[in-house]
């Protein structure tokens, strides 16, 4: 029991940090489990609850922005359409390749390749970045296409979409803000769908104490990390995260894969 609670806490911390920093939460969850041998009940459902917890952290942190968007004011129309239309590509790809994403791609070797590919994207985004354009629906859809990459463990949803925002000319702060808001529908949708699919497990008592500990930890840590990243990106680039991912990929090749 204690080991399960400890595992839930550690994985919650990992999720809270890595969901928002552009270093891949799914990739780190896979790595930490393999390296430390952490075990929780029903790991896939556990991961879903962690993602729901961090989605809730986004909702709480950006509650004022969300209320403004849902007011359907004319000034918020571009942002609303950008989020709605930008979500569609990841939804389509996620549905079509759901089985492969949840099975074949959940391995350390996939994470290694994704970490390196993501770093290359970060460097390209920093080289391409102009930071002189405002969000438009077409740019929102473009960033949504980058969100598809996040379906691959190790790529990082925030990293892919922030990079997409920079490539399309958004400022660092605007790219990060849109990245967080864009992630809400896909994170909530995927989580709720998995809960529906796992309803029988939940009904039979499948929601264990380690899931509650992990979810609460991910939520609290996530709030702090969102605040940190928004402030960090005002004056810093994605390069430090790109180099971290490269070093991590090298360590995985040497000691895990």
What's the rounded Cα separation, in Å, for the pair 23 and 20?
A: 8
pLDDT value at residue 3: 62
Q: Are 121 and 163 within 8 A, CB to CB?
A: yes
Which residues have C-beta within 8 Å of that of residue 8, sequence separation ≥ 6?
A: 40, 46, 209, 210, 211, 212, 213, 214, 217
pLDDT value at residue 49: 84
User: Does residue 205 carry a pLDDT above 70?
Assistant: no
What's the rounded Cα separation, in Å, for the pair 158 and 21?
A: 7
What's the rounded Cα separation, in Å, for the pair 195 and 50?
A: 12
pLDDT confidence band for 231 (50 / 70 / 90)? very high
Return the CA Rg of the chain. Answer: 18
How do residues 145-176 score in pLDDT, each as one tens digit? 999 998 888 889 999 999 999 999 998 889 99
How do residues 66-109 score in pLDDT, each as one tens digit? 999 999 888 899 999 999 999 999 999 988 887 777 777 778 88
Q: Kindly list the domain boundaries of the chain, sorted by start residue.
A: 2-255
Q: Are 24 and 18 within 8 A, CB to CB?
A: yes
Confidence (pTM): 0.90
User: Does residue 213 carry a pLDDT above 80?
Assistant: yes
User: Does residue 141 carry a pLDDT above 90?
Assistant: yes
User: Does residue 119 carry a pLDDT above 80?
Assistant: yes
Average pLDDT of the segment spanning 28-37: 78
Q: Are 155 and 149 within 8 A, CB to CB?
A: yes
> What's the Cα-to-Cα distance from 201 to each of 14, 99, 138, 188, rounded to whole Å?
25, 19, 41, 19
pLDDT value at residue 243: 97
User: Does residue 206 carry a pLDDT above 70?
Assistant: no
Whether the CA torsion 194, 196, 199, 205 is positive or negative: it is positive
DSSP code for 40: -
DSSP code for 188: H
User: Does residue 202 carry a pLDDT above 80?
Assistant: no
- How high is the mean pLDDT of the chain? 88
CA nearest neighbour of 124 among 89, 154, 86, 168: 168
What's the rounded Cα separation, in Å, for the pair 86 and 202?
A: 32
Percent of residues, the chain, with pLDDT higher than 70: 92
């Amino acid at each position: 029991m204690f080991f399960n609670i400890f595992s839930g806490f550690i994985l919650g911390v990992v999720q809270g940090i890595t969901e928002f920093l552009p270093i891949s939460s799914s990739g780190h969850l896979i790595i930490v489990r393999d390296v430390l041998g952490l075990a929780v009940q029903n790991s896939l459902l556990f991961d879903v609850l962690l993602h729901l917890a961090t989605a809730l952290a986004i909702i709480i942190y950006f509650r004022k922005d969300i209320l403004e968007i849902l007011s359907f004011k004319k000034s918020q129309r571009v942002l609303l359409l950008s989020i709605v239309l930008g979500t569609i590509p990841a939804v389509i790809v996620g549905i079509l390749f759901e089985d492969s994403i949840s099975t074949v791609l959940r391995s350390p070797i996939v994470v290694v390749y994704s970490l390196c590919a993501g770093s290359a994207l970060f460097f390209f985004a920093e080289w391409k970045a102009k930071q002189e354009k405002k969000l438009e629906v077409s740019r929102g859809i473009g960033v949504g296409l980058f969100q598809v990459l996040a379906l691959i463990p190790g790529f990082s949803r925030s990293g892919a979409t922030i990079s997409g925002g920079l490539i399309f000319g958004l400022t660092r702060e605007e790219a990060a803000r849109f990245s967080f808001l864009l992630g809400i529908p896909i994170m909530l949708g995927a989580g709720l769908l998995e809960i529906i699919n796992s309803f029988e497990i939940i009904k039979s008592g499948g929601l264990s104490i380690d899931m509650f500990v992990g979810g609460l930890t991910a939520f609290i840590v996530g709030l702090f990390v969102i605040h940190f990243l928004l402030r960090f990106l005002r004056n810093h680039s994605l390069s430090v995260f790109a180099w971290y991912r490269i070093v991590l990929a090298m360590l995985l090749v040497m000691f895990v894969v």
